[in-house]
Structure 1
Amino acid sequence: MCMENGLPSDLLAMLTSQVWLRRNKLRMGEKVPDLRLLNSLVREAFQEFQHAHTVEPSHLSTRPQTKWKPSPMDWFKINFDGVVFQEKNEAGLVIIICDDHGLVMAALTQVIPLPTLLEMVEVLAARKALIFAKELTFDHIILKGDSNIAIHAMTSDVYSATSFDNAIYSEQANKMSYVLESA
């Protein structure tokens, strides 16, 4: 009925919620408002919902949209990212491998102990992406991430003793055909 009358489906959700809440209160022997008030209760709940989910224009992202570009034929694009869970003292590594048509070929997530340096999370995600691709025998890859630190550490021809370089140096020694892109 909501859709036929051009009303938002959220309004139907509010109605359903109010009916269910009323039913449960009746079953528990609790006091319930008169059924004739249901319409006004639904409208109040709907207005509260709309108010809570209204985004102020100043909070909207002005980030430019990026357009997906396919990888060359027989190459695989690997997007990597790291996420930090401070409250749990853990980090997450996220990897998605797509073929040249954009189809997901493999995906991996892994939770690890939080490294001492937060920047290391992205570097470890990049390293895990390389290892994962190698395990799956993807030889020609485009590795894409948004961490300039990880990209710099992996593109550096000079070995150094920094913790970032140590984390990925073993993978550079066994280079596959890969191209690095910054997101």
Structure 2
Amino acid sequence: MANLHRRKVLQSPLCSNCNKARETVHHALWECDHVLGCWGHRFKKLRSPEQSMGSFADLVFSARQQDKNMELFMVVAWMIWTRRNKRHFNEQQLPPEKILEAETALLTKFHENSVGRSERKLTQTQRWVPPAAGMYKVNYDGACFVDEEKAGIGVVVRNDRGQVMGSLAEKIEMPPTVEVLEAMAARRAMIFMEELGLRHAVFEGDSEIVVKALVGLYPD
């Protein structure tokens, strides 16, 4: 909310739940009175007076130091954020006191489905594959820095021998969705190739939706 207020999308930066404080990520997930019940008593050590946390990154660090159940911690945070978004768009959501129960059930089901998979195939490290002779390969990606309410774009251009011909890293305002961020990264990669004066390139990104949209498989 605070970020959208700075961009003049919203009139108020205050939390949409309590309407008392600026809605930073840390406030929305941890400090707001309306989410206290979502955490239950499982993480009460993190609320001791000795703890001094000014950001959600500080909270995650403290949780890793003090609590072994980081899996549950991250699922709780994710479900609180999902609940916050549903509330914002007037969609049905779980009451705060039911959140922890739902998260525990979700993790239990996940682990039950994982039973019997002890002989999992090791995931092969994805290796960079060179383009055809005389071509360039452009790898692009986007990253979200939630605590800073910023996003980042990275681009690397290599020739068919794997030599880096150019690279860039830029911070931008947080876009509304990950797909939009990936699309912006793809666009920046194309512009970067123009700036380098290079032609005959193949572009490679992580988002299947964006890639299909660029090649025309998604008309919309």
TM-score for the superposition, normalised by structure 1: 0.51
Instruction: Name the counterpart of 2:208.
Output: 148
The answer to which structure has the higher strand fraction is 1
* Partner AA of 1:96 in structure 2: V
CA-CA distance at 1:68 after TM superposition: 3.0
- Of 160, 172, 175, the residue aligned with 1:115 is 175
User: In the TM superposition, what whole-angstrom CA distance separates every residue of 1:89-146 from its partner, at most 9, and x where no partner exists?
Assistant: 1100000000110010100011000011222111111110011011212110010111
Aligned to 2:178, the other structure's residue is in SS state coil
Judge which range, 106-115 or 145-154, deviates more: 145-154
Select the residue among 134, 139, 143 that pairs with 2:194.
134
Q: What RMSD in Å do the two structures reach over aligned CA positions?
A: 2.2
Q: What residue is the counterpart of 2:142 in the other structure?
A: 82
Partner of 1:43: none
The AA in structure 2 aligned to 1:102 is: G
Give the ranges of 4+ consecutive aligned residues of structure 1 lying more than 6 Å apart after TM superposition: none
Give the aligned length.
102
| Structure whose alpha-carbon radius of gyration is higher | 1
Counterpart for residue 130 of structure 2:
70
Structure 2 unmatched ranges of 5 or more: 1-117
Change (3 A) 1:75 1:158: same
Paired residue type of 1:91: A
Deviation string, structure 1 residues 132-174 (Cα, Å, up to 9, x no partner): 01121211001011111210110116753xxxxxxxxxxxxxx
1:72 alignment partner AA: A
CA contact (8 A) 1:72 1:100 kept: yes
Contact 1:123 1:149 in 2 (8 A): no
Using a 3 Å threshold, how does the CA distance of structure 1 residues 110 and 61 change in structure 2: closer, same or farther? farther
User: How big is each residue's C-alpha offset from its partner over 1:67-105, in whole Å with a ceiling of 9 and x where there is no partner?
Assistant: 332211221111000000111111000000001100101
Q: Deviations over 1:12-68 (max 9, x none)?
A: xxxxxxxxxxxxxxxxxxxxxxxxxxxxxxxxxxxxxxxxxxxxxx9x994322333
State whether residues 213 and 219 of structure 2, in contact with CA within 8 Å, keep that contact through their aligned partners in structure 1. no
With the length of structure 2 as denominator, give the TM-score of the two structures.
Answer: 0.43
Between the aligned partners of 1:81 and 1:125, the Cα distance in structure 2 is 6
Partner of 2:19: none
Which residue of the partner structure matches residue 106 of structure 1? 166
